Structure 1
Amino acid sequence: MPSKRLLKAVLPLLTVMYSLAVYSQTKQITGSIKDSKGAGIVGASVVIKGSKGGTTTNSEGIFRLAVPEATKALTVSAVGFTTIDVDVSTMTAVEVKLEESNTSLNEVVVVGYGTAKRRDITGSVASVSAKEFNRGQINSPEQLLQGKVPGLQITNSSGQPGGLAVVKIRGNNSIRSGNTPLYVVDGIALDGRTPRPGFTSNSVGTSPPSDPLTFINPNEISDIQVLKDASASAIYGARGANGVVLITTKKGAMGAGKVDVNANVGISDEMRKIDVLDAGGYKAAIAQYNAPNTDSGANVNAFDKIIRNNAYTQNYSLALSGGNDNGKYRASFFMGNQDGIILKTNLKKYVANFNGQYKFWDKRISLDFSATAANVAEKIAPISQDAGSNGNLISLALIWNPTLTLYNKDGTYNQTNQSGQANPLALSDAYNDKTNTTTLLGNFSAGYKFADWLEYRFLYGVNYGVGDRNTEIQGWIKRIGGDAPDNGLAYTANGKLFSQTITHTLNFNKEIAQDLSLNAVVGYEYWKTNFSNNNQYVYGFNYNLTEQSRTGIHYYDNMQDGKQANLRSSAFKDPTVELQSTFARAILNFHDKYSLTGTIRSDGSSKFGKSNKYGWFPSVAAAWTISNEDFMKDNGIVDNLKLRVGYGETGNQEFTADAAQTVYRYTSNGSLQTVHFGNDKLKWETVKAINAGIDFTLLKGRIWGTIDYFNKKTTDPIILTPVAQPTGLGGTLFYNYSGAFVKNYGVEFSLGADIISGKDFTWSANGNITFLKNRFDYPPAGNTPFLLTGALHGQGTSGAYAQAIAHNQPINVYYLPIFQGFDKDGIGTYKNSGIPEFVADPNPKSFMGFSTDLRYKKWNLNLGAHGQFGYKIYNNTAMSVLNISNIIGGRNIASGLVTTSESPANPITTSTRFLENGSYLKLHNASLRYAFGDVSKIKNLNVTFSVNNVFVISNYKGFDPEVNVDKALNGIPSLAIDYIGYPTQRTFLLGLSFSL
C-alpha cells in the first residue's frame, strides 16, 4: 500500500523530469522556403508549432532554427502565400515550397479605425509595402510613394534637403483651402503643420516651408495605404476631402531578439543647370548689343562657386525587435546628416522609435504603445520664393558678370561693381539661418475582447512639437537693399504645436450566417490642436559692419545689441481647434462574391459658425467578385476579377482657424483694425464623389492591375471677399460662395506583371497612369476672372500676376497677354494691346509612374520613374532674372537670348512668352544590390548602390520641370510657377545592411 502511494506521488514528478530532459535536448533545423517557381522567399516566418520560438528567412529564403528535440512540426507562413505545417519529427533539413494564396485576398489591410480583408475592400484603396518603396536618399514618407500609386501626384517643390513635397490625390478639391491629404500614423491623425517658424525679410524675401513629415524615419514604415475615393475616406469626415494616407510603422515579430543594421554614405551634385553665358559669350554679347564695356578680364562661373564640391550624406539606422505570442517589441534609432549642394545648407535629424504590443488574460486584454521622438535641424540659404534678384543667392550667382572676379586682391569679397549687384559668395557668408525642431508623436491603446469577434479599444495619442529659428544678415554685406543695408539684422522665433486625440471604438467581426460575414466598427473621437508662435526682429548693430572687423559673435545671440528703436516683437496664437466626432462603418460579405460597405460620420468643429457646427458625411460602396461565380471557375486565365462602385461625401476644414470669427489687430500707431469679419453661417466645403473600378489578377498571379473612374465635385467653396464696414472703411469676410463648385474627374490605370519568373532570373514591372481634368464654375457665368493668383516677383513685376480662378476654366488657369513676337526694333508685340486672356493649363493632363525589378541570382536591379504631361510652366526666372536687359547693366543673361531678335531695350512684360512646356519624364531612383546572404553570424548581408534623381527628360529650361514654388496671391494658391528655387540634387549612395 505505501509503495503504491509512493508510486502515485513520484510518478508525476518523474513525468515532469522526463519532459524536462526531453525538451532540454535541442536539435538544429535548417531549410529553405521557396515559391512555386523555386525562388527563395525573403522574410518568411518559421515558428515552432505550439510554442513561442521562431525565426525568419534571409534574402535567399534560408533559415536556421534551434528547436527542442521533441518538436514535431514547424508552421511556415509568408505574405501572399498559403500557410502550411511542416513535419520535422524525423528530419533536421527541410525544403519547403509555398503556394501563392488567392492573390492575397485574405491579407488584412488597415482601412481606418480598424482592418479588413482585402477581398472585402469596396473603395479605391492603394497599398504599398516596404519592399515596393522607392530607395536611396529618402527624407520624408511621401518620397517613398512617388510614382507608385495611380491618382497620387507628388511634386518636390524644392531641391533643398527637407524641402516641402506637394501631395495631391486626384486633383485640386479647393480653390483656397489646403489640398493636402490627411496623414494618419498608427491611428493618430497629424495636424499637417510644423512648429518650425518661418522667416520673411524685405532683403531676402520669404523662406520656403519645410516638410512637416520630415521627423518620421522612413526606415521604420512597414506599409502605407492611400484612401483615394470618398467611399474609403468618408470615415474621416471633415478631414477626408483630400484623401487619406495611412502610415503603419514596423512592429516586433515573434522569435528571438533580432538586430537590423542599415548604413549608407554618399555625395550629391546638381541634376541640371541653367545655361547662361560664359566669359567668351558674355564678351561677344557686349559687342553684339553695343552695350557698355563691362569686360573685367576674368573668367568666373559664379554658380559653380556657390555649389559644394563635396556635398556629403550619411545615414545610420539600428533596430532591435523580438517577441512571442503574448508580447512583441521594437526599438530603433536613426541618424541622418545630409549636406545640400548649395553652400551652408544641411539637414540633420535624429529619430528614436519604440513600440510594444502585449496581451494578457488569455489574450483578452491588449496593451499597445508607440513613441517617436525626433530632432530635425536645418541650415538654410537665402533662396526664397519672392525676393528680388539681389536678395536670392541663386539669382545673384546666375547673373554675375562672368568676367568679374569674386574676390579682391587682398582676399576680401568684391562688393563694388558696375552692375550694382551683391556678391553671391558674400551674401552666403553674411547670411546665417538655422532652425531646430523637436517632435514627439506617441500613442497608447488598450483593448478588451468580449469574444473573438467583439473588441473594445481605447486610444490616446499626442503630437507635440517645438521649433526655434535664429537668422541674421551681418552688416558688412553690401547692395542687397531691403531692411538690412549696412547695419545688419537679426531674427529669433519660437513655435509650438500640440494636438491630442482620444478615440473609443467597438469592433465586430463575425460570420453571422452561413456564407455571410459582418465587419463593423462604431466609435467616438475627440481631437484638439493648438498652434502658437512668437518672434523678435531687430536691425541696426554696431559690430560686424566691415568684412575686415568681423567677429565670431552672431547677432541673433545678442538681440539686445541691436538698435532698440528698431526692435519689433510679435506673437500669435491660433484659436484652439476642437473636433468631436461619432462614426460607424459596416462591411458585409456574402459568399465571398458580394460586398457592401456603408459609412457615416458626424463631425462638429470649432472652426465653423454657430449655425453650422456639425456636418454629416455618408458613403456607400459595393463590390462584386465576379471570379468567384460558378461560371468563372476553372477558366485558366482569370484568378480574380472584382467590380467596385461607390459614392461618398467628405468635408474640408483646412483653412485659417479664426475664419468664422471677427479678428482685430493693433496697428503700429496703436489703433484697432479689423483683419476680417466673423461669419456665423460659415460651413464646410463638401466633396461629393463617385468611383467605379475594376481589380483583376490573371494567369496565376502573373499579371495584375486596376482601372478606376472618378468624379468629384466640391460645393460651397470658401473664399475671402472685401466687404464694407459701418465706418465706410473696407474689410474682408470669409464665406461660402453658393452655387460655385470645383470639379475633378478622370481615369486611373495600373498594371503589373511578373514577366519572367525563373529560379535564377526574375523580371517584374509595374506601371500606372492617371488622366485628370478639372474646372471651376460659378454663377453668374462670366468671362472675367473670379479671383487672381500666381504673384510674380523680380525685376519688372510689381503687382504682376499670371493665373486666375475663372468660370469654366481649369483651376489656376493662366491669364496672360499673348506674346506675338518682336517688331523690327526688337520690341515685343502682344495680341489685343496686351489685354490678358485665358491661355493655358498648369494642371497636368496626365501623370504616370513606372518601376521595374530585375534579379539575377544574388544581383538585383531596381528602377523607378515618374512623369507629368500636357501642361505649362511659367518661367518667372527667365522673365525677371535672366532677361536681355541685364547685358546693358553689366549682368549675365540666358545663353539662348543671343540667337533671338530681341533688343535690350525691350521692357519686361508678363506674357505667354515665358510659358514653357512642362512635360517631363524623370528617373528618380536606380539601385543595384548584391545579396551576400548569411556570412558567419551575420545574416542577410546586402550591399547596395543607389542614385536618386538620375536624370530628367524635358524641354524646360529651368533647373527642374518638377516645380511648384508658392506664388499665392490673397490666400489663393498658385500652380506650376518657377522662380529661382533650390536646384534638384542628384545623390549617390553606397549602403550596407545586415541582421544579427
Structure 2
Amino acid sequence: MPSKRLLKAILPLLTVIYSLNVYSQTKQITGTIKDSKGAGVVGASVVIKGSRGGTTTNAEGTFRLTVPEATKTLSISAVGFAPQDVDVSSSATVDVKLVESQSSLNEVVVVGYGGVRKRDITGSVAVVAAKDFNRGQINTPEQLLQGKVPGLQITNSSGQPGGLTIVKIRGNNSIRTGNTPLYVVDGVILDGRTPRPNFAPSGVGTTPTSDPLTFINPNEISDVQVLKDASAAAIFGSRGANGVIQITTKKGAVGPAKVEVNANVGFSDEMRKIDVLDAGGYRAAIAKYGAPNSDSGASINPFKEIIRHGVTQNYSVALSGGNDNGRYRASFFAGDQDGIIVKSNLKKYVGNFNGQFKFLDKKLSIDFSTTAANVGEHIAPISQDAGSNGTLISLALIWNPTLVLRRSDGTYNQTNPSGQVNPLALSDAYTDISNITTVLGNVNASYKIFDWLEYAFKYGLNYGSGNRKGEIQGWIKGTGGNADGAGAAAVLNNYLFSQTLTHTLQFNKDVGSDFSINALAGYEYWKTEYWGSSTSVYGFDYNLQQTNRVGNHYYDNMDDGKRANLNTGAFRDPIVEIQSYFARAVFNYRGRYSLTGTFRADGSSKFGSANRYAYFPSLAASWLISGEDFMKDNPIINTLKLRVGYGQTGNQEFAADAALDVYRYSSNGSITTNHFGNKNLKWETVESYNIGLDFTLLNNRLNGVVDYFYKKTKDPIFLAVVPQPTGAGGVQYKNLDGAYVRNSGVEIGLWGDIIVGKDFNWSANANATFVKNKFIFPAAGKAPLALTGGLHGQGTSGAFSEAIANNQPVDVFYLPSFQGFDKDGIGIYSAQPDYVGDPNPNLYVGFSTDISYKKWSINLGTHGSFGNKLYNNTAMSVLNISNIIGGRNIASGLVSSSESPANPITTSTRFLESGSYFKLHSATLRYTFGNLKALKNFSVYVSANNIFVISKYKGFDPEVNVDKALNGIPSLGVDYIGYPTQRTFLGGVSFSL
C-alpha cells in the first residue's frame, strides 16, 4: 500500500521532469520567407503550430527561431498572403514562398477616414500596392497606376517632364466643372491646383500647365486606394463626384534601423515622329507645284536640331526602424531629367519624415508626417494657343529643310524669305524658369477610450509657393509680340495654402458571435486660399543684337525696361471654406452579409445663401456567397461576393466667385461686369448605381472583379447669357434644369498567378472598361448649347471643333464633312456642321505581367484606349499644303494627294482621325544577387518607358489632350503641336543596409 501511494504521488512529478527534459532539448530553425516574385516578406509571422511561441521576419524576410527538439511544424502567415504550414521535423533550414491572397477578408482597407475589413466593403474600391506599381521613370503618382485599375483612365497629356497627367474615373461627369478626382494624401485633402504661375508672353502664348502632384516622391508611396462608386466615395460628400484617389505613404517598420537605396541614370529620345519632307522631297515638291524657288542648297533636318538625348538621374535613400512603441521613416529623393527638347528640364528634391508613436499602454497614438519638396522647371516655348511663329515645335516642323539654321560664323539665320522665325534662335532668346516649393504635413492623435471605441484628431496643411521668371530677348525678330525687337520679361509669384481639421469617433465591435458593427462619425473643416502677383515690362536697352549680348537676364534687371511699358498686377481668389458632418455604419452578420450606410452634410462658401448646404447619402450591401453552406468544399470557387450600392456625391469644382457679382476695374476708372451673382446656385449632384461581383478561383490563383455602373450628373452648372433689369445682357452661372450627364458601363478585372514553381513564376493583370457617355438636355433642341475645342494656327481665327449638345457625348465633334477635292484640287465640304465623332473612348484597357526565373525577373506594362476620335489641329494649321508656296515645309503625305496648294485651310472632318491606340508604356528587367556581405537584396535593373505605340494617328502620340477650352467649357481630344512623348531608358541598382 505505501509503495502504491508513493508511486501515485511521484508520478506527476516524474512526468513534469520528463517533459522538461524533452523540451529542454532545443534546435534552431533559420529560413527565408519570400513572395511569388522572390522578394523577402517583411513582418511575416513564424510560430510553432499549436502554440504561441514564434517570431517575425526582418526587412529581408529572414528569421531565426529556437524551438523544442520535438517541434514538427511551423505556421507561416502574413497580411495579403495565404497561410502556410512548413515541416521542420527533418530540416533546420526552410525556404518558404508564400502565395498572394487577394481574398484575405480580414485585411483592413482605408476607405475614407477609417479602416474597413475587406469582407465588409460594399462599394467599388481598388487597391494597388507598391509591388504592383508601374516602374521606370515616374514623375507623378498617377503614372504608377496607368493600366492597373479598371474604370481608371490616365492620359499623359504632354511629353514635357512633369507635364499634366489627366485622370478620369468612369468617364466625363460634367460639362463645365472639373472632372479630376479628389486626391487625399495620408488623410489630407489636397486643393488640386498648382501654384505655378501662368506665363503667356505676347507672340508666344500659354505653355501647358504642370501636374499638381509632381512634388510627391513616388518611391515613398506604399499603396493607392481608388474609390470609384458613390458608396465608397460618398463619405467625401461634395468632393467625391469624380471619385477619390487615396495615397498612403510608407511608414517605418518594427526592427533595427534599415537603409534603402535606389539609384538610376539614363537618357531619353523621341517615341514617335511626324513625317515631313526631307530636303530631297522638298525640292521635288516645289518642282511639282511650280512653287517659287526656295531651294537654298543645304540639306538639314530642322526638327533634329531642337531635339536631344536628354540625360536622366534619380537618387533615393530612406532610413527606417523602430519598436512596438515607436516607428520612424525618413527619406530623400533627388531627380534631374532633361527633356528631349532643348532647354527643357525638370529637377525635383523631396524630403519625407514621419513617425508613429504609442503611449499610455498603447492607448494613445501620435502620428505625424511631413513632406518638403522643391520642383524646378526649365520650360521650352511650346504653346497650346500661339500661331505657327510662336511655338518651337511648329517652327522646326515647317522650316525649309534646304535652308541652314546657323550661318558659317555661328550666328542664327534670321533672314528666312518666308518670314518664319528661326526655331533655334527662339529657343536661345527665350528663357522660362519655374520654381515651386511645397510643404505637406499632418499630425494625428488618437485615443482608445475602449478597445472598441477610438477618438482621433487630425490637422493637415498644404502650402505651395510658385515663382516664375521669363524673358524673350530683343535680338529675336518676327515673333509678332511686343517683345519683337525690343525684349520683354516677367516675374510672377503664386501662393496656395489649404488646411484640414478633422475629428472622428470610431466604434468597432463584435456584438455577439454573429454580428459586428463598424461605425464612424466625424466633423471636418477645410479651407483653401490662392493668391499671387506679377510684374512685366517690355522695351530693354541691351541684348538687342545677337552678336553683342551679355549674360544678364531681363527678369533679373526689370528696371531697365521702359517705364511706360511696365505692368503690375495682383489677384486673390475668394477664400473657399467647407464645413462637413459625416457618418458611416457598416453592419456584418455571420461574416457573410454586410450593409453600409453613409451620410455627409457639406456647407460651402462657394454657393449662394439659398443653397449653402447639401446632403449626400449612400446605401450599399454585399453578400459573401462563398460563405454559405452550399458553397463549402467547392473545388473551383474560393470566394464569391456580390455587391450592390446606390449613393449621391457632389461637385463644387468651379470658380469660387460663381455665386457673386464680379466686376473688373480698368486703368481709366471704368467698371465692367464679368458675371452676375446667383444666390440660388446649387450643387451638381451625381447619382450613382453599382452592381459588382468579386471572386477568387482555383485555390486563390485567379482573382477577378466585374462591375456594372450607372452615373447621372444632375443640375450641371453653366455660364449662361441672361437678361438684366437695365435691359443690358450679361452672363451668370446657372444650374440647367432638366439637364444631366450620363455615364454607364462595365468594368472587368482579372489577375493572378499563371505559373507558380520553385524557379519559374508568371503572374498577370488584365482589365477592360466599357463606357458610354451622353449629355441630355431636351430644352436645347438640336442646336449646340455651347461650343468648345478652340483651334489655333493659320486659318483658324474663331474656329472651333466641338460642342455640348443634347443627346450627344460630352465634347462631341461638331464639324462640316469633308467630301473630297474637286477637279482643281479645292476641298468640298457640307454646307453645315454636324455631330460627327466622339472624343471619349468607349473602351480602355490595361495589361501587365511579371515573369521570374531564379534570380531574373521581367515586368511589362501596357495600356490602350479605343473608339475615340482626335482632331489633328497640327495637320490642319501647321503642315498644310499651302506652306509649299510660302517657302515652308509640309507633311510628307500631302504630295501624293490631289490637293492644290491654293486650297484654303478649312475646319472639317478631314482632320478627324482615329484616336485608338495600344502602348507598351513600361518594361523592366532585373537581376537580384541577394545578400552581398553588408548589402542586402542587391539588384541591378534596366527599364524603359513609352517603348512603342500601335496607332493609325499621324501625330506624335494619340495619348494626348491639349487644353482647347472655350469660354470655360473643357475640350477633349484636340491635338496642337504638343511636346513630343519621350522614350526613356534607365539603368539602376537597389539595395538595403
- Relative to the length of structure 1, the TM-score reads 0.94
Partner of 2:367: 368
2 CA distance for matches of 1:435 and 1:51? 58
Partner of 1:623: 622
Matches within 5 A, 1:482-631: 482-631=481-630
User: In 2 relative to 1, CA 686–230 (structure 1 residues): closer, same or farther, beyond 3 Å?
Assistant: same
User: In 2 relative to 1, CA 97–850 (structure 1 residues): closer, same or farther, beyond 3 Å?
Assistant: closer
Partner of 2:218: 218
Is 1:948 matched up with 2:945? yes
Tell whether the 8 Å contact from 1:165 to 1:211 is kept in structure 2 after alignment. Answer: yes
Q: Secondary structure at the match of 2:381?
A: coil
Residue of 881, 884, 889 corresponding to 2:886: 889
- Worse-superposed segment, 101-110 or 640-649: 101-110
Residues 401-428 of structure 1 show CA distances to partners (whole Å, capped at 9, x for unaligned) of 0000001232110000111000000000
Residues 649-692 of structure 1 show CA distances to partners (whole Å, capped at 9, x for unaligned) of 00000001010011111123221111111110011000001000
Question: Amino acid of the residue matched to residue 991 of structure 2?
Answer: F
Partner of 1:907: 904
Q: Secondary structure at the match of 2:281?
A: helix
Question: Amino acid of the residue matched to residue 904 of structure 2?
Answer: P
2 CA distance for matches of 1:27 and 1:52? 13
User: In 2 relative to 1, CA 48–818 (structure 1 residues): closer, same or farther, beyond 3 Å?
Assistant: closer
Matches within 5 A, 1:442-841: 442-831=441-830, 833=831, 835-841=832-838
2 CA distance for matches of 1:798 and 1:56? 66
1 CA distance for matches of 2:129 and 2:383? 36
Is 1:45 matched up with 2:47? no
Q: Secondary structure at the match of 1:233?
A: helix
Tell whether the 8 Å contact from 2:780 to 2:806 is kept in structure 1 after alignment. Answer: yes
Partner of 2:13: none
2 CA distance for matches of 1:509 and 1:802? 55
User: In 2 relative to 1, CA 933–561 (structure 1 residues): closer, same or farther, beyond 3 Å?
Assistant: same
User: In 2 relative to 1, CA 523–74 (structure 1 residues): closer, same or farther, beyond 3 Å?
Assistant: farther
User: In 2 relative to 1, CA 127–186 (structure 1 residues): closer, same or farther, beyond 3 Å?
Assistant: same
User: In 2 relative to 1, CA 468–222 (structure 1 residues): closer, same or farther, beyond 3 Å?
Assistant: same
Q: Secondary structure at the match of 2:547?
A: helix
Residues 457-499 of structure 1 show CA distances to partners (whole Å, capped at 9, x for unaligned) of 0000000110100000000001111221100110110000000
Partner of 2:341: 342
Tell whether the 8 Å contact from 1:46 to 1:74 is kept in structure 2 after alignment. Answer: no
Partner of 1:279: 279
Residues 777-822 of structure 1 show CA distances to partners (whole Å, capped at 9, x for unaligned) of 1132511101100000000000000000000000000000000000
Residues 852-893 of structure 1 show CA distances to partners (whole Å, capped at 9, x for unaligned) of 111111110111000010111000000000000000000000
User: In 2 relative to 1, CA 757–920 (structure 1 residues): closer, same or farther, beyond 3 Å?
Assistant: same
User: In 2 relative to 1, CA 200–40 (structure 1 residues): closer, same or farther, beyond 3 Å?
Assistant: closer
Partner of 2:15: none
Tell whether the 8 Å contact from 1:717 to 1:736 is kept in structure 2 after alignment. Answer: yes
Tell whether the 8 Å contact from 2:82 to 2:104 is kept in structure 1 after alignment. Answer: no
Q: Secondary structure at the match of 2:292?
A: coil
User: In 2 relative to 1, CA 297–743 (structure 1 residues): closer, same or farther, beyond 3 Å?
Assistant: same
Question: Amino acid of the residue matched to residue 267 of structure 1?
Answer: F
Q: Secondary structure at the match of 1:286?
A: helix
Coordinate RMSD, CA, aligned: 2.2
Residues 124-178 of structure 1 show CA distances to partners (whole Å, capped at 9, x for unaligned) of 0011000000000000100000000001000111000000001000011110000
Partner of 1:230: 230
Residues 488-519 of structure 1 show CA distances to partners (whole Å, capped at 9, x for unaligned) of 11011000000000000001111112211111
Partner of 1:927: 924
| Structure 1 gap segments, 5+ residues each | 1-25
Residue of 859, 864, 870 corresponding to 1:862: 859
Tell whether the 8 Å contact from 2:516 to 2:588 is kept in structure 1 after alignment. Answer: yes
Deviation (angstroms), 1:42: 2.5
Partner of 1:125: 125
2 CA distance for matches of 1:57 and 1:665? 61
Residues 668-725 of structure 1 show CA distances to partners (whole Å, capped at 9, x for unaligned) of 3221111111110011000001000111110001111111000000011001112234
User: In 2 relative to 1, CA 775–45 (structure 1 residues): closer, same or farther, beyond 3 Å?
Assistant: same
2 CA distance for matches of 1:86 and 1:400? 71
Matches within 5 A, 1:408-423: 408-423=407-422
Residues 924-945 of structure 1 show CA distances to partners (whole Å, capped at 9, x for unaligned) of 0011011111111110011111
User: In 2 relative to 1, CA 34–421 (structure 1 residues): closer, same or farther, beyond 3 Å?
Assistant: closer
User: In 2 relative to 1, CA 48–256 (structure 1 residues): closer, same or farther, beyond 3 Å?
Assistant: farther
1 CA distance for matches of 2:419 and 2:929? 60
Q: Secondary structure at the match of 1:206?
A: coil
Q: Secondary structure at the match of 2:925?
A: strand
Tell whether the 8 Å contact from 1:44 to 1:77 is kept in structure 2 after alignment. Answer: no
Deviation (angstroms), 1:567: 0.8
Residues 545-576 of structure 1 show CA distances to partners (whole Å, capped at 9, x for unaligned) of 00011110101111111111111111110110
Deviation (angstroms), 1:28: 8.3
Deviation (angstroms), 1:80: 2.2
Residues 199-257 of structure 1 show CA distances to partners (whole Å, capped at 9, x for unaligned) of 11231111111000000000000000000001110000000000000000000011111
Tell whether the 8 Å contact from 2:33 to 2:57 is kept in structure 1 after alignment. Answer: no
Deviation (angstroms), 1:583: 0.3
Question: Amino acid of the residue matched to residue 129 of structure 2?
Answer: S
Q: How many residues align?
A: 963
2 CA distance for matches of 1:393 and 1:725? 45
2 CA distance for matches of 1:53 and 1:627? 33
1 CA distance for matches of 2:100 and 2:959? 39
Is 1:188 matched up with 2:185? no
Tell whether the 8 Å contact from 2:486 to 2:544 is kept in structure 1 after alignment. Answer: yes
Tell whether the 8 Å contact from 1:55 to 1:254 is kept in structure 2 after alignment. Answer: no
1 CA distance for matches of 2:480 and 2:944? 40
User: In 2 relative to 1, CA 734–141 (structure 1 residues): closer, same or farther, beyond 3 Å?
Assistant: same
Question: Amino acid of the residue matched to residue 973 of structure 1?
Answer: P
Question: Amino acid of the residue matched to residue 447 of structure 2?
Answer: Y
1 CA distance for matches of 2:76 and 2:397? 61
Partner of 1:983: 980
- Worse-superposed segment, 558-567 or 614-623: 558-567
Question: Amino acid of the residue matched to residue 621 of structure 1?
Answer: A
Deviation (angstroms), 1:98: 5.2
User: In 2 relative to 1, CA 96–893 (structure 1 residues): closer, same or farther, beyond 3 Å?
Assistant: closer
User: In 2 relative to 1, CA 632–90 (structure 1 residues): closer, same or farther, beyond 3 Å?
Assistant: closer
- Worse-superposed segment, 508-517 or 223-232: 508-517
Question: Amino acid of the residue matched to residue 662 of structure 1?
Answer: D
- Worse-superposed segment, 477-486 or 725-734: 725-734
Tell whether the 8 Å contact from 1:489 to 1:540 is kept in structure 2 after alignment. Answer: yes
1 CA distance for matches of 2:339 and 2:79? 39
Tell whether the 8 Å contact from 1:497 to 1:531 is kept in structure 2 after alignment. Answer: yes
- Worse-superposed segment, 200-209 or 353-362: 200-209
2 CA distance for matches of 1:915 and 1:96? 56
2 CA distance for matches of 1:931 and 1:296? 57
2 CA distance for matches of 1:319 and 1:248? 16
| Structure 2 gap segments, 5+ residues each | 1-25
User: In 2 relative to 1, CA 591–54 (structure 1 residues): closer, same or farther, beyond 3 Å?
Assistant: closer
Deviation (angstroms), 1:95: 4.7
Partner of 2:7: none
Is 1:140 matched up with 2:137? no
2 CA distance for matches of 1:198 and 1:766? 40
Tell whether the 8 Å contact from 2:318 to 2:331 is kept in structure 1 after alignment. Answer: yes
2 CA distance for matches of 1:167 and 1:111? 20
Partner of 2:266: 266
Is 1:247 matched up with 2:247? yes
Residues 818-873 of structure 1 show CA distances to partners (whole Å, capped at 9, x for unaligned) of 00000000000012x2x111111111110000001111111101110000101110
